[in-house]
Structures are given as C-alpha cells and as structure tokens.
Structure 1
Amino acid sequence: MAKRKSNEETPASSNRRRKPERKRHGLGTLVLLWPFFLLQRLTAGLPLPVRWGLRAIGHPIVLGLYAAIPMVLFYYARARNYDMAKVSEMPERSIVLDRHGEEIGRIHGEKRDIIGYSDISLDFIYAIVAREDERFFTHHGVDWIGFGRAMLRNLKDRGMTQGASTLTMQLARNSYPLYASWLDFSSPLQELDRKFLELAVSYRIEANYSKEEILQHYVNRIFWGHTIRGIEEASRTYFEKSAKDLDLSEAAMLAGIVRGPNAFSPFRDLSDAIRERNTTLDRMVIAKFITPEEAEAAKAEEIPIRPEWRRVFHDSWAMDSVRRELERVLEEEHIEFGGLQITTTIDLAIQNKAEEALNRHLRTFERRAGYPHETRAAWQEKPEPRPNPAYLQGSLVVIENMTGAIVATIGGRDADESKFNRATQAKRQIGSTFKPFVYAAAFEDGLRPDAMISDDRLARGEVRGAKNWSPHNSDGSFLGYQPVEVGLIRSRNTMSVRVGDYAGMDHVAEIANAVGFEQPMQMSPVSFLGTLEASPEEVASAYTVFPNGGRRWPPRLISEIRRHDGTLVYPDPDQERIISYQPLMGDAASTTARILGKVMDRGTGAAVKRLGFTSPCGGKTGTTDDYKDAWFTGFTSSLTCSVWVGFDQPKTIFDRAYGSTMALPVWVDVMKTAERLGYKATGLSSTEPFTEARVCRTSGKRATQGCEVAGTAYTESLPADQLPAEGDFCHEHDDVLAESLDKVLKAKVVDPSEAELEAAPKARPVEGEAVPKALPVEEEKIPRAVPVD
C-alpha cells in the first residue's frame, strides 16, 4: 500500500512539469502561406524593432506577389492567343510592273515598302534606339528601370507625363488589337488592362524574334506622317533615297519626328524637324553611339528635303486601268491588304510615247488661229477649284494581236486633271471604223471584193428597211458601178449600205457581237455606216481579227500576280481560261485585211505613208456626223492601235475634222515607236493557199462564155474555199451569149452547090496551039548560086 501510494502524483505536481503544446497548422495552410511563415522564421531572432519593421515591409510585398501571380497567369494565357507571325505581316502597297519589269507605280495597301534589317542604315538603327529605347539591346521586352523612373516622374507630376514603352512594347501595340471587348473603351480600367496585356505580349515577341528582327518589323510598321508607313517609304518620300543610304543627319531627323510625325514633318515646318534631329543626336551621344564631334558635324549639315514641286505624286492611265482590272480578277481582301507584285502587259516606253504624242498633237490644233473651243492651257490657268475639264480630249489603246495583251492604254490627256478613263469607259459612235465588219460579213456570204456594185443613190425599197432613206457620200458625188473593195477603200456610204444589205442585218449584228462590241447593233440600215457606240479598247480588240485570220484573243492587262513571298495568286492554274476563238471566217478576215492595206495606199489612210510609216499595215478612218468624233484604227502583223479624238460632251470639233487629220498622226507616232522597240511589221499576207479562177464581176460566180462576151469576167486569186464552187456558174449573161450566137447563125454562108453561084465565071479549056509551051534553056545560061563567105 505504501509503495503504491508513493508512486502516485498529485494533480498539482503533474501540471508543474507539463510543457505547453505548440499550435499545429494544417498542410494546406502551410502550402498557401509559406512565404509569411518563412518571413516570420527569418526575422524571429532579430531585435524587436528590426523584426517588426521588416515584417511591416515584407508582408505587403508578399501580399503583392500573391496578387501578381494570378495576374501574370491571366495575362500570359491571353497573350498566348496572339499569333506571333502577325508581327511580320503588315499591309504594304502592291507594286505594278510593266512587261519588262520596269516599275509603273504602287497601289492599294498602306504606303510602305517592307525591307530587311540589312537594308537599313546603321546610323538610323542607333538613332531610333537612342531616341526611343536606350536599353533595347539589354532588356527582354520591358525596361523595368525605365518603367520605374516613369512611374516616379508621373507621381511627382501628378499625371501621365512620361511613358515607359520599349520598342518591343510599341511593336506589340502596333501589331495587335489589345483592347478588351468586355470593358468600356473609355474606361481607365481599359487602358490599365491594355498595358498589362502589352507587357505580356512583349515578352512573347522577345521569345520568338531576335533583336534585329524586332527592329526590322518595328521600323517597317511605324507611321511617319502624310500616310507614310515604314522607314523605306519615309526615306524615299522625304529625302528621295533608299533607307540604306541615309546619312547621320537624315537618320537622326527621321528618328526624331517619329513621336509627332505630322507635327514635326519637314514638309510642314523644317525648323521643328531640325530641332528634333538635334535632340536625337544629343541622345545618341549620351548613349555612346556617336561622339560629340560627330553630332556637331551632323547638326551643321543641310537637310536635302524633297523639293515642293516634286511632292505631288501623279496618277497615270495605266495605273487606273490596273485598278479596274484587279477588281475583276481578285477578291477584295487580296487587293486591299496589298503586298502584291503585279506584272502587266504594258510596255512603259510605248505607254509614255503614246501619252506624249496624243498631247502634243492635240495641242497643235488648239494653237491654230480661230480654234473655237477652250484650250487645255486656258483651263489650267483657271483658279482652284477648277470645273471638270471641257477641252479637247483623246484616248487610245494598243493591243498585241496574237495574245490580246494591252501594250498601252491612254484614257485622256492627263490622269490628274480628269479621272474619266475614255479608253475603257467612253462609248462613242465609231463611224466608218465599223465598215470593215460589214464587208467581212458580206465576204463570208460569198461576195467578191472585185464584184461590181452601184455607188448611186439608193432607190426606194432597194435596201431592206431603208424605205426612202438614202445616205450621201462625204465628197457629195456618186461614182456609178465600182468594184466592192472600192467602197471600203474610199469609204463610200451608198456602196457600204448595199454591201450590208447583201450580208443581211442579222449577220452583220452577229459579227459585231462576236468580235467583242458590247452594245447591240441597231437593227436599221443606218447601222452599216457606224452608229454603233464603243470604247477605243473595244474597237482595237475587234480589229485584231483582221491580221489574225479571223481569230480573237480577249484583251487582258495583267499577266500574273504574286505575293511578297513569290506565291502565285493569278492566274489560278486550276481555272480554265479562254485563250482565243474564231468569230470570223479566216478567208473573210484575210480579204478584209488586204483591202484595209489598200486603204493605206490609196484610200483614206494614205497619209500614213506620207508621215513616214512605210511598213505593211492596214486600217480605217472614222468620222461621225458634224465632225463630233474622229477615229483611226490600224494594225500591223504585231499590233493593233485605235485612236479617238473628241469632246466629252459631243460637239463639232471644227469643220473637216476628219479621222485622217485628228487621229491618224497619233497612230503613226505610236506605231513608229513600237517598231523601233522590236514590234516588227512583217506583212499581212494570208497563210491560206491561193487559187486563180475566172469570176464574174456582177454575180461573183464562176464566169461563163456569156460573162466573157459581156466583159464582166476577170481572174481572181483567193483562198480556194473563198472562191465560188466549181459548178457554181453565172447565168446572168446567158442571154448575152444567146444573142451573140444568134447573130452568128444569121450570117450568110457561101456554098458552091447553090444556084446563085452559077453566075460565077467558069474556067474555059484552051485549045491546042493556044497553049503556051515551055522553052528549053541552055545549061550554061542557068544562073548558079554564088557562095557567100
């Protein structure tokens, strides 16, 4: 008992020896709050004031980290949605080239040219870094030193007076739309959210691109005022040189005006631009990119700014036509984004010569004494804003026969003064220029070019649908019966109407539609004389069937389109394209071409030779009523060119303003230039085999003896399928032959058996002695032949 009692302890003694138990935290609490616990442990042994001071600073920092981590994850996740390839993709203008690779101009997209890092002046690289982001080559997208300095300055100034954007951050902002759709656009939270997202995207850009690539994309993307984008376009616009040729002074100026390109533009105020240049040079010295001596030397240099008279960029008719053609062959998104290389069929040398020739020739008429209209020079002297030009206009189109390629297109005298493209948009009556298609239709129906046809006045009811209408000829005369070809060579109206009536109105209309005239032909005999309205491009394209043996290639202006990386955009290799077709029979086309060649020798186009173009060619003039429109359309074996002269609002140019006077000389200048450039005229002979046959001029059929007697037979040399068939003989002169035979049969024949011949004297016998005898001659007296040496 005693022993057991001695081992027992009282509650009081037990409580004295027990140590207090430490409070235990759960595992989740430790994981979540370990930074606080770590701070507590690290500061536990420090003196009380120090310990509590560090904890007062440290706990808010840890709380800030707790808030920052979810934000970092949130913005990192949002930044992951942006395609980094978009940094290098930016709208740029499409470059337009002629068929030889010469630049014609640039269109669509933004006014920029994308270049590589190696094509940028090193002086400019240092200038833009010194001005915009001095620690660019050492930070990783965000300059935290600069960021902190800007925040302190903004707090001091109580406003957002200092920015902290690096070049990478600016590139992120310029490359992507960083605004949140769920926040109000004008809300301060929107700007704060955008800034955080910009930081996240900047880190992604730095991870995907080298510093050189970031600089390249940045300077290609930024704005330099006056719609200019990118360093190359800025350098060419302001200094007329490439970005790789910028010197230190020029580079510093371009870097200096970036922050206010419109405000500091040297075109607006050169003194402001010079001030920004000098500031940039000072920053380059601080950044140790240049020495103070180099900076002072650059400040002393004059700035060679593009002179004011060269700051206006002129439009051209070729570019206008390319814009219209692009809308036809490409979808809008391809066009507007730009960045395409468009190779056209234009020959820039011929294009420029055509524009110069048209202007020069029309100016000579405007300078004549008594010219009755406003001249272009007088219109140009009017104060701005000037009305739409009302002076004498002209247009022309040159097409390559065997391809349909448009070699030159001029829509007026100046593309800056008028945007109305007369080469493609103007529809004017084409007058006698239409007559070759009337004759070609008749030749398809078997009419011979040497067949005789009347040039006299039309008799009432003679021509279907004409009633009592009868046209006059331009010279007021009527020539009676003439070979058909004379009607085209000398542009005889009455003969042409009869030829059209022979072919039939439906057939002529069908030919007109087939060769490319868009407007339906008026179903009236007057249409045979050219009341159809068409553009110069339509007329030129239609005329190519004559030197092509009846084939036509639809006109085209663009040969190919490629993206910046060389990918072919047009033509689509999987899409079938119409190459050519045959709207006119080959023999009819060749016959018409031969007659149009004679037009240039002794017809309305004879002035071509006098003006110095002596190569084989064919063509036709055209003049509408009251001399409102003057045309000349002609071709060689290589090219066809159509020229129109007139006013936008139709009115008489002046008396006797014929196509041979107003339009033909322009054609000669253009075609002489083309020939010098290698577009040779090798002759217009048909490839069809020719056969000779005797043909009747009146009927156009094989000649008979009656035709020979009547004097209407002649020998024709034509392709075999164009001659009348072997058994297709003329019967119009059978009565002539019968009459001739009748006269022969009625002639008296002498027959010795007839009675009346008894009266003829008879031979009487001579009796014996009365008959003379032959006398013998002695041998010696016979004359001998004397030999001659």
Structure 2
Amino acid sequence: MFKEIKNKYLRYSSIFVFFVIIFFSALQLNFLWLFGYSPSYHDIKIPTLRVGSELYTADGKLIGRYFKENRTPVNFNEISPSVINALVATEDVRFYKHWGIDAQAVGRAVVGFGKEGGASTITQQLAKNLYRTRYNKSQGILNKIPLVRTLIFKLKEWMTAVKLESNYSKQDIITMYLNTVSFGNNAYGIKTASRIYFDKETKELSTTDAAMLVGMLKGTTYYNPIKNPARALERRNTVLSQMNKYKFLSRDSLTQLSKEPIKLKEGKMEDGSDGDSYLRAAVAKNLEKWCKDNGYDLYEDGLKIYTTIDSKLQKYAEEAVQDQMKTLQRRFYSVWGNEDPWYDSEKNKVDYPDRAMKNLPIYSLLQKKFPNNPDSVTAYFNKKKKMQIFTYKGDRDTLFSTLDSIRYYGKILNTGMMTMEPSTGKIKVWVGGIDHKFFKYDHVNQAKRQAGSTFKPFAYLTALEQGMSPCDKFTDKPVKIAFQDKGETKYWEPKNADYSVSYQEMSLRWAMARSVNTITAQVTEKVGWDNVVKWAHECGIDSHLESVPSVALGSNDVTVYEMVKAYATFMNNGVKTDPILVEKITDQDDNLIDEFKPKTKRVLTEEIAWLMTYMFRGGMEEPRGTSQALWDWPDLFRKNNQIGGKTGTSSDYVDAWYMGLTKDLVTGVWVGCDERTAHFKNGEQGEGSRTALPIFAKFMEKVYLDPKSGYTYGPFPKATVEITRTYNCPSPRIVRDTSSNDSVLVDSTDVAEPATTETAPTPVPTETEVKKEDKKPEPVQNQPAVVVPLTKKEERELKRKQRQEEREKRKNGDN
C-alpha cells in the first residue's frame, strides 16, 4: 500500500515536472504565438540599453545627440556607493543573496496578498526595463485573458532574471539597472539624472542626492523634486530610513541628513547635448538611408558620428553670420520704415499676410466650421496670445496674433552658408539659418532660390568648352534674343543692372568679372542655353533647370549646397566631388563601424578648370570686378593671397549671393527673406556685394588670423598642364594722370606697356554688378597717361571718393 502511494506521488510529480518543462519551453519559444516574445540567449548576451547617438566635429567636439531616451551609460566604478546602498536598501535588500528571484519575498507577497510589498527584485526590474517584456509587441494571444496575462508577464521576468544572473555579475546587473531606469524630466540612467538634477558626476553624488534619486523610482512624477518638492523630500527621508534600517547609515547620520533640504542645481549633460540645430538635422537626414540599409537606429543604438565639420571654422562662420545679419536686419528696417516690403516683379504691392494666412491648414478648417461667418475666421487670426519671438537681442515674450506673427517673420532676413574643401569633398561649415529654434527650414540644402549672377560662370564655362578663350571679346550693347515658347516666337531683351550699355568691347574674363548681363546673354545665345544647362549639371547642379535664354542669369532655383559643389569642381582640377558631411561612425567603444569617402568624377579637363579659376580671379583683378568690396578687409590679402569669387543678385534684390574661392576652400552664402516678395528697395542696400559678400569676408578674415585654423594665405595653384588658350589678355587699367594725380580708366591699348592679368591690378570698387561705364577719357595735352601702381592708402582713398560720387549721383537721380 505504502509502495503504491509512493509510486503514485512519484508519477504525479514526474508528470508535473514534465508539464512545467513543456510549459516553460513553450513560453520561451512563443508556441503558436500564445505567449509573445521572450529574450533569447543572444539578447541576454548583448543587451540593448537604447542609448542615444552622439554627434562630433572632425576635431572631436560633441555638438549634438540623438535620443528617444536621454541616456548616457556609466560604469560601476563611476557610481557613488551611496547610490548602490540606497538602491539595495530600498528596492531589494537580499540582492546579493538571491539568484534573480527572491523566494522569501515571493512567499511574503503571496501570504500577505501583496500587502507586505512587491516581490520584484532588481534583476527582475532590469529584465522588464531592458527587454520591455510588458510591451504590446512582447505579448501573445493569451494576453487577452487578464489573470493569465499577468502570470505570463511574471513568469517571463523570472525566466529572464535567472538568465541575467547566470550571465552577469551582481555589479554588472546593478549597473545595467541604473543605466536603464527613468528619473523623469527626460532623464534616463543615473548619469543623466545626476547631471540634470544636481549638475554633478555620478560618483560625486552625496547620500541625500542618492536617496532622492532612488526615491523617485517609486514614481518619477509623484516624487519629482521640481514639480512636487514636499513629496520628494518625504520620500527621500524614507529611503534614508531604509538605509539606516539595513545598516548602510548610522542613526546620527540619519538624524542629521533628514533635516537637510533638497538642493537642486539644474545642469546639462555636455555642450551640444540638448536642443536641436541645422547641422544635427542635416546629419540625421544624411544618415537615413545608411541606417535603414545597415539596420541601425540613430536614436537608440549608441553610435558615435564624426562629421567633417571643423569646430573652429563653424564658430567663425556662425559669428560672421550673426554679426552681418544683425546689421542687415537693421538696414532692412531702416530702408522700409513703416512700409511693407512685399512687392511682386511688376512693383505691385502684395498682401503677403493674407496669402500666408490662407495657406495655413487651420484656415480651411475654420472656414468649414464657420462657412457663413468670415468675421469669426478673421477674429481667430487677429486674437492676441502669448508667444515667444526671435530677436537679435534674445528671445522675447510678447502678445501677438497669428497675423502679427506672419507680418513680423515676413520681414526677417535669413541666410544659408556652406564651406567645403574641394580636394577632399569635406564640408567644413554648415550654417542653415539665423536661429534653428524659430526657423527650422535649412537654407543650405532645403531652400532653393534664384542664383542670380552666380550662375553666369556656367555660360562662360560652356564657351571655353566650345573652344573660346578668356580673351575672346563681346560688346556691351542692347540685345534682343528670339526663342520658342510652346510653338510661339518670343523675344527676350536683357538689361544690365543699371539699365545702360557702354558699347565697350570686353574680354570674356572682364565681362564675367563685371557681371555684364548683355554680354552673358550673347554668350549664352552663341553656345546654346541647352549646353549651359548641360555643363551646370555636369559640374554638380542637381536641381531641374529650365532651358531658357535667361538661364545663365540665374533664373532657376538652386541650393547653396549645389552651388558650392559645382564651384568646387573648378577648384578641384575639374573633378566633381560629392560633398560628405559624415566622415566615420563608431560604436560606444570607438570600434569603427563605417567610414565614408566622397564619390568623384572627372567632368572638366585640367586646362578648362584652371582657366575657370583664372576667370574667377577677375572679380578681384579686373577693373570694376564685382568682388572688389573685399578690399574693405585688408587682412584677406596678406602674403600674396588670392581670392576669387562671384556675386549674385536676383531680380528686384530678392536673393543675394556670394560664392568665394580660395586655394583651400569654397564657400557659398545666400541672403534673403523666406518670403520671396520681400526685398530691398535698391541695389545699394540689397546686392550680393553688400549683403552676402561681407559674411564670406568676415569669416575668412577670422580663419586667416587664426594661426591654428590650418588654412593659410597664398595664391591659387599654378597650372599643372599646358595652357593652350590665350589668357593674358589686355584689359583697361587704372592709371594715374601724372599731371593731376587723378586716377582714371584707360584702355590698355592707350599705354605703351599694358600690364598682364597675371599681376593683380589696382582695384576699383563697385556698388552694383554692372555700373554705368564712364566715357573713355581724353588724354591730357602734353601729359600722356602712364601706368603707375597706386599705394594702398591711395587705393582706399580712390574707393572712398568713387562711392561718395556714386551716392551723390543716386541722390540727384543720375542713374
């Protein structure tokens, strides 16, 4: 009888154990999708902490982070012992004795029906946090049954806790736990919480600091010291009492520390760890495809992303933008006063606020809500409310209606700036606008605007490609070009910026340097506007370009990014190089994951590329070249330094550009309002040489004056191949009349020994891209004009006098 009972119990026990094994196996394998996901052995070996990625400059400066949970991991030896003691005393006093499941605590919880406290160990909580075992994606079909669902959750956590305990030390487990838990205020992990609440490193936390943070784990909102300081203090003292109860804290210390108030000090993780920026957004966009193709999550996989950005150059660019844009905004307000700046190309006033209001999504919704009551719609947009607005003196709180806001921001000038190394393709500077907080639109790679005269070089490039030379001549004269538009013959009559022509014969180099519209139009007609489009695309312009007679005058919309890429082709010996913004990506332990090299393609011969560089030098070297406002920054021209470039101004002074070239860098700058009908009143205020060029000048001046920037003065490289085209062509020179000491323009043919264009001539500053040409002066009797170099002092005085004369002419209506 006894033997039968014994065999019976053994049989039942065996059956029970068998079914337990089967059950846990089914649970682990998610049999028939009944139980949902359970962490695999691989998951346990490689736990995912969902750590945000970090963004660095090329020289190792942290400039931004990407995260869903603001978390930075910390090692065990970096954690204050007070944190460990507070956590164990409060959450799991038998932590160092159990193997993931505390049987005593489970029994106590079952007998007391949960009244004696929960039975969850630190390891179980880690399992829940680390693998999200209670998330929807971790649930199976049985999750529909309430009590069964809870049981399955618990069993999963137990299984995972045991796996964790078998693979990691107690120190590893408690470190992982402290790195995963949330402390509220978007602070995940003990390191982030230490910095945000106390502005301390984790190892510097005091006993009271540690007690407060551990106390928050019971309820990050309820015990939040910022929102609920009284509750947080009470909870902190409870934790201190627990530490005393389990011998981590003496009675005297408990008494003393319980009397201390909570001392918070708001801090930030590191420079660049909060907020957003144009660069951060651009990199995220840049890496979208890479992350998808390689199976990485930018916001959770703890990547270290090293950009090509140079932190010094970026700083100098941002300073130059801030300084110049502040000045331009004052000038813009001064020009318009109380008038609105919104006019179409026919000079008709535009009701921009009304149009912008009607384009808002809320407008159509309000119309549907109040179909027969337009006054209610208008009232909504005119209702004042508190808002924060951008100003150059800092963010300002004000009472604005929606229409007030539209009017205010419709008058704000913005900018985009990018600098690239042509030889490497590395982007060294990226300034997407004046303030990312208020203006999210990136003016480097998102905003497309009319390029104006910065597009003219593609017409001159096409001319060179068709066999012309920089010395070939065209005449500045009225032009009427026929073209076909949908089967109809139409005519285009381009005008120079000052609506006059000089009937002077000019070389291609001089015409490009002076940005003469009539000659550019003639060149475009001769080479074919289809071919201008072709060569612009070949050099790096990706946007669609309408093939029209005005294409070379910049009638198409392009980005700063494209223009810099295309101009860099000229400076890189004719090799088009796709710019790169990210150089390499590593993991948290600095192991290389991937590195990036630019794609390259030869599109121009070395000879053509060198000739184009030579053409760009004309902006500084040819009389009245449009880059000569750069002489206002004499520090740019030390040690035989050479700068090339091209200004650009679209119709009605809406868009202003400057493309600046040095031996090492290509920089593009655009300036204008986001609203295209807003513009300066006249050329003196709104042309590229007065708006965009100074940003380039101030930036490069800072770069050159910093001996540690890595970029030095120097001339453009000499040709490395034979130049078969004529390029030392005679151009008018500035000469001094020895009888009167006055400086005048004469043709080089009027002097016995004309200077070659290899030596930079004395500059004549210009205020607009094409000025009214002075009549050729008559030589003084018995005193022939001779070429005499001017001193720098004389150059500046000449420039000052000429500007003064031009202002007086404009004042008197002599345009």
The one-letter code of the counterpart of 1:345 is: T
- Which of the numbers 266, 269, 282 marks the counterpart of 1:321? 282
Asked if the contact 2:63–2:273 (Cα under 8 Å) also holds between the matched residues in 1, the reply is: no
In the alignment, the residues of structure 1 paired with residue 255 and residue 90 of structure 2 have an alpha-carbon distance, to the nearest angstrom, of 17
Q: CA deviation at 1:127?
A: 1.3
2:141 alignment partner, SS class: coil
Q: Does 1:589 align with 2:589?
A: no
Asked if the contact 1:84–1:208 (Cα under 8 Å) also holds between the matched residues in 2, the reply is: no
Q: CA deviation at 1:438?
A: 1.2
Question: What are the equivalent positions in structure 2 for 1:169-184 lying under 5 Å apart?
Answer: 169-176=124-131, 177=133, 181-184=140-143
The one-letter code of the counterpart of 1:627 is: Y
Larger radius of gyration: 1
Q: CA deviation at 1:534?
A: 0.6
Q: CA deviation at 1:67?
A: 5.6
Q: CA deviation at 1:24?
A: 8.3
Q: Does 1:684 align with 2:698?
A: no
C-alpha distance 671-136 of structure 1, shift in aligned 2 (>3 A) = same
Q: CA deviation at 1:456?
A: 0.9
Name 1:475's counterpart in structure 2. 498
Bigger CA drift: 644-653 or 425-434?
Answer: 644-653
Q: Does 1:667 align with 2:691?
A: no
Name 1:217's counterpart in structure 2. 176
In the alignment, the residues of structure 1 paired with residue 699 and residue 655 of structure 2 have an alpha-carbon distance, to the nearest angstrom, of 20
Deviations 1:582-603 (A, max 9, x none): 2223222212212222313451
1:456 alignment partner, SS class: coil
Q: Does 1:399 align with 2:420?
A: yes
Q: CA deviation at 1:631?
A: 0.5
C-alpha distance 647-322 of structure 1, shift in aligned 2 (>3 A) = same
Let me know the Cα RMSD of the aligned residues.
3.6
Asked if the contact 2:469–2:726 (Cα under 8 Å) also holds between the matched residues in 1, the reply is: no
In the alignment, the residues of structure 2 paired with residue 526 and residue 688 of structure 1 have an alpha-carbon distance, to the nearest angstrom, of 35
Deviations 1:322-357 (A, max 9, x none): 111011322174124321111111112322332232
Q: Does 1:335 align with 2:358?
A: no
Deviations 1:445-467 (A, max 9, x none): 22222222111112566999996
Name 2:765's counterpart in structure 1. none
Q: CA deviation at 1:380?
A: 4.6
Name 1:654's counterpart in structure 2. 680
Name 2:79's counterpart in structure 1. 120
The one-letter code of the counterpart of 2:493 is: S
C-alpha distance 713-463 of structure 1, shift in aligned 2 (>3 A) = farther
C-alpha distance 193-691 of structure 1, shift in aligned 2 (>3 A) = closer
1:219 alignment partner, SS class: helix
Asked if the contact 1:79–1:201 (Cα under 8 Å) also holds between the matched residues in 2, the reply is: no
**TM-score for both structures, normalised by structure 1:** 0.75
Name 2:656's counterpart in structure 1. 630
Name 1:564's counterpart in structure 2. 588
In the alignment, the residues of structure 2 paired with residue 25 and residue 350 of structure 1 have an alpha-carbon distance, to the nearest angstrom, of 90
The one-letter code of the counterpart of 1:229 is: Y
Asked if the contact 1:435–1:488 (Cα under 8 Å) also holds between the matched residues in 2, the reply is: yes
Name 1:755's counterpart in structure 2. none
Asked if the contact 2:187–2:193 (Cα under 8 Å) also holds between the matched residues in 1, the reply is: yes
Q: Does 1:454 align with 2:411?
A: no
Q: Does 1:377 align with 2:391?
A: yes
C-alpha distance 99-663 of structure 1, shift in aligned 2 (>3 A) = same
Structure 1: give runs of 5+ residues left out of the alignment.
1-22, 36-62, 699-708, 719-789
- Which of the numbers 11, 14, 24 marks the counterpart of 1:75? 24
Q: Which has the higher contact order (CA 8 A, sep 6+)?
A: 2
Deviations 1:130-180 (A, max 9, x none): 12111111222222233333334437x6xxx73111101111222332665
Asked if the contact 1:691–1:717 (Cα under 8 Å) also holds between the matched residues in 2, the reply is: no
Asked if the contact 1:84–1:205 (Cα under 8 Å) also holds between the matched residues in 2, the reply is: no
Name 1:166's counterpart in structure 2. 121
C-alpha distance 305-462 of structure 1, shift in aligned 2 (>3 A) = closer
**TM-score for both structures, normalised by structure 2:** 0.73
In the alignment, the residues of structure 2 paired with residue 246 and residue 101 of structure 1 have an alpha-carbon distance, to the nearest angstrom, of 28
- Which of the numbers 497, 507, 511 marks the counterpart of 2:535? 511
1:134 alignment partner, SS class: coil
2:85 alignment partner, SS class: helix
- Which of the numbers 235, 257, 265 marks the counterpart of 1:305? 265
In the alignment, the residues of structure 1 paired with residue 442 and residue 101 of structure 2 have an alpha-carbon distance, to the nearest angstrom, of 53
Question: What are the equivalent positions in structure 2 for 1:457-606 lying under 5 Å apart?
Answer: 457-458=478-479, 468-479=491-502, 480-571=504-595, 579-601=599-621, 602-606=624-628
In the alignment, the residues of structure 2 paired with residue 385 and residue 126 of structure 1 have an alpha-carbon distance, to the nearest angstrom, of 55
Bigger CA drift: 668-677 or 88-97?
Answer: 668-677
Deviations 1:61-109 (A, max 9, x none): xx99986784477337745863245343221101111101111111145
1:86 alignment partner, SS class: helix
The one-letter code of the counterpart of 2:618 is: K
Asked if the contact 1:697–1:712 (Cα under 8 Å) also holds between the matched residues in 2, the reply is: no
Q: Does 1:422 align with 2:443?
A: yes
C-alpha distance 280-418 of structure 1, shift in aligned 2 (>3 A) = same
Q: CA deviation at 1:550?
A: 1.6
In the alignment, the residues of structure 2 paired with residue 313 and residue 693 of structure 1 have an alpha-carbon distance, to the nearest angstrom, of 56
Asked if the contact 1:318–1:408 (Cα under 8 Å) also holds between the matched residues in 2, the reply is: no
The one-letter code of the counterpart of 1:370 is: S
Asked if the contact 1:404–1:556 (Cα under 8 Å) also holds between the matched residues in 2, the reply is: yes
In the alignment, the residues of structure 2 paired with residue 712 and residue 335 of structure 1 have an alpha-carbon distance, to the nearest angstrom, of 71
In the alignment, the residues of structure 2 paired with residue 281 and residue 265 of structure 1 have an alpha-carbon distance, to the nearest angstrom, of 17
Q: CA deviation at 1:198?
A: 2.4
C-alpha distance 318-562 of structure 1, shift in aligned 2 (>3 A) = same
Asked if the contact 1:427–1:534 (Cα under 8 Å) also holds between the matched residues in 2, the reply is: yes
Question: What are the equivalent positions in structure 2 for 1:225-240 lying under 5 Å apart?
Answer: 225-240=184-199
C-alpha distance 384-251 of structure 1, shift in aligned 2 (>3 A) = farther
Name 2:372's counterpart in structure 1. none
The one-letter code of the counterpart of 1:597 is: R
Bigger CA drift: 182-191 or 613-622?
Answer: 182-191
Name 1:770's counterpart in structure 2. none
Asked if the contact 2:418–2:560 (Cα under 8 Å) also holds between the matched residues in 1, the reply is: yes
Deviations 1:466-509 (A, max 9, x none): 96422121133322212221111111001111222333223211
In the alignment, the residues of structure 1 paired with residue 309 and residue 545 of structure 2 have an alpha-carbon distance, to the nearest angstrom, of 31
C-alpha distance 79-292 of structure 1, shift in aligned 2 (>3 A) = farther
C-alpha distance 167-469 of structure 1, shift in aligned 2 (>3 A) = same
Deviations 1:517-539 (A, max 9, x none): 12233222211211121111111
Q: Does 1:357 align with 2:386?
A: no
C-alpha distance 294-683 of structure 1, shift in aligned 2 (>3 A) = farther
Q: CA deviation at 1:182?
A: 3.4
C-alpha distance 85-295 of structure 1, shift in aligned 2 (>3 A) = farther
In the alignment, the residues of structure 2 paired with residue 242 and residue 448 of structure 1 have an alpha-carbon distance, to the nearest angstrom, of 66
Name 1:767's counterpart in structure 2. none
1:377 alignment partner, SS class: coil
Question: What are the equivalent positions in structure 2 for 1:705-724 lying under 5 Å apart?
Answer: none
In the alignment, the residues of structure 2 paired with residue 466 and residue 610 of structure 1 have an alpha-carbon distance, to the nearest angstrom, of 47
Structure 2: give runs of 5+ residues left out of the alignment.
30-37, 342-388, 731-748, 759-815
Q: CA deviation at 1:717?
A: 9.3
Q: CA deviation at 1:194?
A: 2.1
Bigger CA drift: 114-123 or 175-184?
Answer: 175-184
C-alpha distance 506-77 of structure 1, shift in aligned 2 (>3 A) = closer
The one-letter code of the counterpart of 2:646 is: K
Q: CA deviation at 1:218?
A: 0.9
In the alignment, the residues of structure 1 paired with residue 753 and residue 317 of structure 2 have an alpha-carbon distance, to the nearest angstrom, of 47
Bigger CA drift: 486-495 or 286-295?
Answer: 286-295
The one-letter code of the counterpart of 1:349 is: K
Question: What are the equivalent positions in structure 2 for 1:689-708 lying under 5 Å apart?
Answer: 689=721
Bigger CA drift: 476-485 or 165-174?
Answer: 476-485
C-alpha distance 180-314 of structure 1, shift in aligned 2 (>3 A) = closer
The one-letter code of the counterpart of 2:472 is: A
| Identity level (%) | 29
Deviations 1:204-244 (A, max 9, x none): 22122110011011111112223332112222222233322
